[in-house]
Amino acid sequence: MTFTRFLERLLQLIPVLLGVSVIVFVMMALTPGDPVQIMIGDQIVTPEQEAQMRRDLGLDRPVVERFFVFLGNALQFDFGQSFYHRRPVAEVILERLPATIELTVVAMLIALFTAIPLGVLAAVRKNSIFDRIATVGGLLGVSLPGFWFGILLLMLFAVHLNLLPVAGRINYGISQGITPYTHFLLIDTLLNGRFDAFRNALAHIILPAITLGLPMTAILMRVTRTAMLEVLRADYVTFAQAKGLSRQRILWRHALKNALIPTVSVAAIETGSLLGGNMIIETVFGWPGLGRLVVESIFVRNYPLVQAAVLLYAVIYVMLNFFADILYTILNPRVKL
């Protein structure tokens, strides 16, 4: 892929983001509920005090004007003040982002490293007991509601076996003295040479990551299995067998590379949907990430935060698809971007 092609793809982001900001802004404006009223609750305030609060939040201006102010500021990466945190939205989002990225990446890795081998095995041993168990397991994985499965895991591993913690990213006591180079705890603890803290962070992330990654595991396994079955019927595989190549070599070197093509595109899309799954999983496991922040912000109509976060989601989603396309061309040189 040439550099100009890359730039072109990057430029395509602009209309997408513009569209997303219009949609989010309109949707938030149309959602019934008034942030000032929610803040006041049942407290007695005079109309002047209420008007003052509205002025402070910039809600006294007409919607159209607010939109253009938002757009103008957003172009300069200024997303305004969070109504509730009373700090710049970008700051609030950035401090919650690493937790979400870390959780998403671990969930994705768990999904990839279990789904692909399982999918290959299921394809190789088609119609065996293993294949059937994997199929049923896959179906369950897709259909189990995440919050329910998460609570089930908590009851088992935290309450009954008392092996793993319920909430948070790391114990306070054990995390003392760790320099946050990356804000990804699994990496920071290792960079600091603190294996005790690494184990603690791992114990915290394992249940949420499994819960979050489960649907993705199930889907990827199904995709890998189907793709693998198709590839194994291909002429070049028969030829390789005839040539006397070892079965392992045929499977992992020749067949898998081609079977992975659909898996990669599905994985990219699924990683995007992990971002959505985060909102629920972060709530169940008290994970201090962005997903939960967005949910909380929607409930209290924290407009600036929701707008900025959704824009960020859109950027991540578009970028993921972009990288999937690049990976696709590497795996399958016949496809040009």
Contacting range for another protein; rule: CB under 8 A; set: 11-19, 69-77, 161-169, 226-234: 161-169
The phi, psi pair for 169, rounded to 5°, reads -105, -30
Pair 286, 168: CB distance under 8 Å: yes
Closest approach, Cβ 41 to another protein, in A, equals 7
Closest approach, Cβ 303 to another protein, in A, equals 14
Give the residue with the Cβ less far from another protein, 85 or 254: 85
Q: Which two three-digit tokens encode residue 31?
A: 């959602």
Q: Which two three-digit tokens encode residue 286?
A: 């008290």
Closest approach, Cβ 91 to another protein, in A, equals 10
The phi, psi pair for 44, rounded to 5°, reads -85, 120
Under rule CB under 8 A, residue 167 binds another protein = yes
Q: Which letter, b or e, does each residue of 31-59 get, where b requires 16 or more Cβ atoms within 10 Å of its Cβ? A: eeeebbeebeeeeeeeeeeeeebbeebbb
Give the residue with the Cβ less far from another protein, 68 or 172: 172
Using CA atoms, how far residue 30 sits from 3, 27, 239, 329, in Å, is 41, 5, 62, 42
Under rule CB under 8 A, residue 44 binds another protein = yes
Pair 186, 304: CB distance under 8 Å: no
Contacting range for another protein; rule: CB under 8 A; set: 79-87, 105-113, 124-132, 262-270: 79-87
Give the residue with the Cβ less far from another protein, 272 or 289: 289
Under rule CB under 8 A, residue 52 binds another protein = yes
Under rule CB under 8 A, residue 103 binds another protein = no
Residue 207 burial (10 A CB sphere; 0-12, 13-18, 19+): buried
The pattern of x and - marking residues 127 through 156 that bind another protein according to CB under 8 A reads --------------------x--xx--xx-
Q: Give the interface size with another protein as a residue count (CB under 8 A).
A: 49
Closest approach, Cβ 119 to another protein, in A, equals 32
* Residues across the chain: 337
Pair 261, 328: CB distance under 8 Å: yes
Angle in degrees, CA 310, 314, 319, rounded to 5: 150
Give the residue with the Cβ less far from another protein, 166 or 269: 166
Residue 256 CA to residue 231 CA, distance in Å, equals: 8
Under rule CB under 8 A, residue 95 binds another protein = yes
The pattern of x and - marking residues 266 through 285 that bind another protein according to CB under 8 A reads -----------------xxx
Under rule CB under 8 A, residue 257 binds another protein = no
Under rule CB under 8 A, residue 194 binds another protein = no
Contacts of 34 (CB under 8 A, 6+ apart): 301
Query: Contact residues for another protein (CB under 8 A)?
Result: 32-34, 37-46, 49, 52-53, 56, 84-87, 92, 95-96, 99, 147, 150-151, 154-155, 158-159, 162, 165-169, 172-173, 283-286, 288-289, 292-293, 296
